[in-house]
Amino acid sequence: MLTINGGSSSVKFALFEPTTPRRRRLAGRIERIGLDDAALVLESGERRAVKAPDHAAALAIVLDLLEDRGALADVAAAGHRIVHGGARHRDGTRVDAALRADLGQLSLLDPDHLPGELAMIEALQQRCPNLPQFACFDTAFHASMPRAAQLLPIARRFEAKGLRRYGFHGLSYEYLLRELVSVMTHDWLMETQPSVLSLKMLVGFESRTVSPIEGGCQGA
């Protein structure tokens, strides 16, 4: 499984073996996409300058790397982290023409991420036309936030055009919450009643978000 995490100026990738638990075979990132000092940085510490004028070119570098290491032919599927799924996309789904078209319409809501992510989906489709691709949405985790939290202080007519709060970094929050529950003792969980558990979680990358979480599993 190849995982692809497209940011506004970077692409992180990892290749996992089909084992239990998953074993990471190769991982790295391409940073400073669109700039003269773009670089490929591998988890091993290897770093080299690359020419990556856009996200499609960055993905081509990743695929070339996998091919050079004899790993591209082993990829059975690819999973993309998609920053914005709008109001409709709440579950991981296989990428098809209809989804690509819908995400293209949503690019107005996230012009810093969606165009690059769509370009990588298209580039991978052209390079590996028979490879299944799947999209997982950052906004899905926050889909159940209360309506009061969704609303922006603007005229309600703009909500019909999709202008509201959606929440971000949802995949990271979902992972952190799952890991948190895994390290809690059974007795502690029973005493605290996770159905009413309230948390505040912070995720920091190039940008940062804070999310209050009600009920232990829902974005609020």
Amino acid at residue number 183: V
63's tokens: 């695929």
Residue 115, Cβ density class (10 Å: 0-12 exposed, 13-18 middle, ≥19 buried): middle
- Active-site residue, from 36, 54, 64, 138: 138
Determine the residue type at 70: G
Q: What's the Cα-to-Cα distance from 21 to each of 112, 177, 184, 186, rounded to whole Å?
A: 34, 19, 20, 22
DSSP string, 125-137: HHHSTTS-EEEEE
DSSP class of residue 113 equals T
- Round to whole Å and give the CA distance between 101 and 180: 36
Backbone torsions φ then ψ of 62, nearest 5 degrees? -60, -45
Residues 183, 5: Cα–Cα separation, whole Å: 26
Residue 87 CA to its chain's centroid (Å): 16
Positive/negative CA dihedral, 163, 202, 16, 218: negative
Is 74 a residue of the active site? no
Question: Locate tokens 């107005």: which residue?
Answer: 108
Active-site residues: which are they? Answer: 138
